[in-house]
Every structure is written in structure tokens, then in C-alpha cells.
Amino acid sequence: MSTLMPLLMLIINLSTIAILWFGGIRVNNGSLQIGSLMAFIQYVTQIMFSVMMVSAMLFMVPRAQASAKRIQEVFDIQPRIGDPVSPNPTPLPPASTPKGLVSFERVHFRYPGAEKDVLEDLSFQAYPGEITAIIGGTGAGKTTLLSLIPRFFDVTDGCIRVDGIDLREMSQQTLRKKIGMVPQKAVLFSGTIAENLRFGREDATDEEIRHAANVAQASAFIDSLESGYETILAQGGANLSGGQKQRLTIARALVRSPEIYLFDDSFSALDFKTDLMLQRALRTEARHATVILVAQRVMSVKDADRILVLDEGRKVGEGTHRELMETCTVYQEIVHSQLAEGEIA
């Protein structure tokens, strides 16, 4: 394509020059009229352009065919995660289970094609009205654990229940309606701040949007922007800082007021003071919901009702900060590497 176009343009222009040259001689001799010469040039260029378009098409067709084949391949893929075929996709939860209870029962998980389990024999329960924190080094499997709850992947062995029902017996729509997830990498869309916050619930009122931003400690910076909630965000929120993006994604989850909140390291870009204020506000806001919070910083998990310590996909400790300080060596190591002596108690 890159050599064809200049070549064709060269041919067109050379032929115009040739027509002018030979035609000029005939006009001089009086055997050709200038009008006919001009018409001849017009016809030749039109024909040449058509030839050019046809040859361009010859290049495009095989390319389009290859692309169409690839697109069709993508359309033909059947999702690995399917809805239950039973006539009742929303079975009733056992009466004794509180709403929003998330329980892992001997869960094993391995990524498709991987050689090793990422999560091994993991059991715990996250109760509504409580904050369950998960702490562990990078690659411990925290993000993987969270992504199993909205069923981005199915467990390899064991079972995860929400409200006492196995996830695989629930329709994905029912399940995901219950969940508000803040992913590790803050994702925002191009559009206004208000549109981004309404992403999960389009009928949210301005009042609700403001309230969520308040809880997420985002209202101060939004108000300081010239157009406030109508500020246009660039693709991916490129015109915001990391911490501002995080707070907007937290506010977006809050607008939906789901039964289960999943925060994946969502406070990592916040300074300690904002982190603390946000956690306090969150505690009141989500007092009836189940909150599962992944963090790298001890300060972010210290006040949780239950802390789970993960190490290479295994649970090595569970309890409150105080209990873990006495019983769990991995937790002690994490704490001592992060906090000064005075802060530990």
C-alpha cells in the first residue's frame, strides 16, 4: 500500500504531462482544439483514479477477510462461566443464614493452564455488619480470592457460598447485583465525574451522588474543580491523581449500596489521614453490609473485625489485630516491618 499509492500518483501525473506534450504539438499544428485536450485530460485522470481504487480494494479484501475471521472466532467462544440450567435461578437462601454472608469452604483455585494452585484449602466466613480484612505479601493471592466472589473464575475445588447458596447455583446477574467491587487498578471512563459515579445505578439522585462522594472523602477535591461534578474526565481518568481516582471508584461502589463490598487495595494511594477518615465513614455507611477489604498496609486493616493473613495462597492466621499479634508470626513480621514500636499496641 505504501509504495502503490505514490507509484499510481506518479503514473497519473506522468500521463497528464505526456498528454500536454503531445496534445500541445497537435494544438500548435491546428489539428486539435484546446477544449478537446482539456476534456481528454479529465477523462484520463478519472479512469486512472478508478483503476487506483480497484487496486486498493484488491489489497483491502484479504485483510478484511482475515479480520472478519478473527472477529467470528471471538463471537464463537462460549463463556466458561455459565448460569445454572435449573428452572429456578435464584434459590431461596436457608432461613438461618444472614443476608450478605460470604463463606469459603475448603476452596482450592488454580488459573486455567497454570501448574500450581494459587489458593489452597482456604476456609473463612465474612459476616454482614463486619469488616473482614485480608493482608499478605504481593502475589499471595488476595486479588485472586476477591475475583472468585463475583465469579470471574470458578473454584477448582471446594465451594463459595453467598447467603448460604453456592455461587454456581445462582444466576450471575443476581450475584453481581449484590456486589460492589473496587478493583486494584482504578478504572474510570471518559465522561463527567457524575456520569462515572452513576455507572452502577443510573437513577441515583444528585443528593445520593454527593453523599457517596462525601463518604469516599472525594467531595472536597471535586468541589475544588472548576466545573465540580460536571468536570470531564479524560479516558481512564488521566487528568486525576492516583488517590483521586481511587476515591472516585470507591464512591462509585458506594452509590450502588450493595450487600457486599469488595475493596482490593483501594486505599493504597491515600495518605494516612484520608485513609483513616474514609475507613471511619465507611464503617457507618456500610454498617449492615459485608465488607471484605484487601490491604498491604497494617494501618488499613488494624481496626477490622477479622483479619485474614494470606501467605502463598494459604491462610496462616485469622483473628483481630490483638489476637494475631500474639499467635501469628507472619503477621508479626508484617507489622514489625511497617510500624514503629509505639504504634503496634
Please give the residue ranges that form the binding site for ligand ATP (CB under 6 A). 111, 114, 118, 136, 138-144, 184
Shortest Cβ distance from residue 140 to ligand ATP (Å)? 4
Question: Which of 245, 243, 253, 240 has the alpha carbon at shortest distance from 274?
Answer: 243
Q: Which among Mg ion, ligand ATP, none contacts residue 256 (Cβ within 5 to 8 A by kind)?
A: none
Binding flag, residue 296, Mg ion (CB under 5 A) = no
Q: Which does 111 bind (CB under 5 to 8 A by kind): ligand ATP, Mg ion, none?
A: ligand ATP
Residues 6+ away with beta carbon under 8 Å from 272: 299
Site string for Mg ion, 167-196 (x = CB under 5 A): -----------------x------------
Q: Quick one: 131 or 145, whose CB is closer to ligand ATP?
A: 145
Of 75, 129, 81, residue with least CA distance to 102:
129
156 makes contact with Mg ion (CB under 5 A): no
262 binds, among ligand ATP, Mg ion, none (CB under 5 to 8 A by kind): none
Q: Residue 162: CB partners within 8 Å, gap ≥ 6?
A: 100, 101, 102, 149, 170, 175, 178, 260
d(CA 155, CA 149): 10
Among Mg ion, ligand ATP, none, what binds residue 317 when CB lies within 5 to 8 Å by partner kind? none
- CB nearer ligand ATP, residue 143 or residue 257: 143
Q: How far is the CB of 292 from ligand ATP (least distance, A)?
A: 13
Q: Which does 22 bind (CB under 5 to 8 A by kind): Mg ion, ligand ATP, none?
A: none
Alpha-carbon span 93 to 275, nearest angstrom: 35
- Would you say 141 or 150 has its CB closer to ligand ATP? 141
Our CA angle for 203, 292, 320, nearest 5°, is: 145
> Which residue lies nearer to ligand ATP by CB, 98 or 242?
242
What contacts 7, CB < 8 A, 6 or more positions away? none
The binder of Mg ion chosen from 45, 143, 172, 257 (CB under 5 A): 143
Q: 188 near 249, Cβ under 8 Å?
A: yes
Q: How far is the CB of 8 from ligand ATP (least distance, A)?
A: 48
Per the CB < 8 A criterion, the answer to whether 91 and 169 are in contact is: yes
Phi, psi of 262 (to 5 degrees): -120, 115
Element (H, E) at 334: helix 329-338
Contacting positions for Mg ion (CB under 5 A):
143, 184
